[in-house]
Amino acid sequence: MEKIAVLGAGSWGTTLSQVLSDSGAPVTLWAREEEVRESIAKRRVNETFLPGIVLSEKITPEAGIRAAVEGADFIVSVIPSHGVRAVFSEAGPFIRKDAIIVSATKGIEEGSMLTPSGILNEALKGCGHKAIAVLSGPSFANEVSRRLPAAVCAASTSIEAARAVQQAFSTNYFRVYANTDVIGVELGGALKNVIAIAAGISDGLALGHNARAALITRGLAEMGRLGAALGALPATFAGLSGLGDLVLTCTGPLSRNYTVGVSVGKGASIDEVTGSMRMVAEGVKTCRGASDLARRHNVDMPITEAVFSVLYKGVSPMKAVMGLMGRELKDE
């Protein structure tokens, strides 16, 4: 049977480990935190990030990156975007030349403005691996871990690699579609978190359902504009990793990014909100990278800029809303 390594034992990394074990594979789960490893090894529960879910005996927690990745056929990255480069720079020398790297990270790296697959390509330069694939779509860990139905897509420039990931991850409750538009899938997964913060701010301000629907719709439009500038396929943004993930993240109370936005809309500072969170809300960092990308490619992304102004420039949420509503009138 194939050996699969999952790097990152947060709620989503632990959930994907469970999905993979349900598909029949033994999984080595690398966890940075000792209490997480001990909890899984002794009680079969990740009490820190996924409490209440009993995990398969096929999941083995591991403290060492080399021990986790060495000999693995698939290596799944579920690390926050700001940590991918360091972890894979360490892991690279121990990765098999025919291994497939699967990125389940959603974000844009600050400074480099790279998506996770771009970070991986740089970190693994000169090291062995067969292909890089990305996994994205509307999928709250809490629901998938309880084996409720979900559908996502696996994208790679190699359709063979995408289909290999599709086969490895598919179960009777987790359906995977194959795709070759890597940048489109990654941008959808990253940018929807920024729009989700905007939707949360709107709800925190009690602006109503109309405002949230407008943010989702116009947010999708600016996601598509940046995607087109970077060579993504327009149809990707109408799919699972675009519209599907956007709607879920902007409307579901299980969304960390939406929840961050609600708190900010109610008057909390971003430092107060993130300081109280154990898990990462990727949209907070992504909005900076997305804003930089938009300026580099001369793409109009007013909602992203409004979120950036609230989180990093001290603009009040209501002033940002008024700025959006007062913009020059345009054709749709």
The stretches of the chain forming alpha helices (DSSP H) are 11-22, 34-43, 65-69, 84-91, 116-123, 141-144, 159-169, 182-204, 209-229, 245-251, 256-265, 270-275, 282-296, 302-312, 317-325
**279 token code pair:** 């898990």
CA distances (Å), origin 282, targets 50, 103, 122, 251, 258:
18, 14, 21, 17, 11
Query: What does the alpha-carbon distance between residue 100 and residue 164 come to, in Å, rounded to a whole number?
Result: 9
Query: What does the alpha-carbon distance between residue 205 and residue 182 come to, in Å, rounded to a whole number?
Result: 35
The one-letter code for the residue type at 146 is R
Asked if residues 90 and 69 have their Cβ atoms less than 8 Å apart, the reply is no
Q: Is 230 exposed, middle or buried, given 0-12, 13-18 or 19+ CB atoms closer than 10 A?
A: middle
Q: Supply the DSSP symbol for 82.
A: G
Catalytic residue numbers read: 192
Taking residue 210's Cβ as centre, other Cβ atoms within 10 Å add up to: 9
| Cβ density class 303-317: b for 16+ within 10 Å, e for less | bbbbbbbbbeeeeeb
Query: What does the alpha-carbon distance between residue 212 and residue 224 come to, in Å, rounded to a whole number?
Result: 18
Asked if residues 204 and 261 have their Cβ atoms less than 8 Å apart, the reply is yes
Give the side-chain half-sphere CA count within 13 A for 157. 9
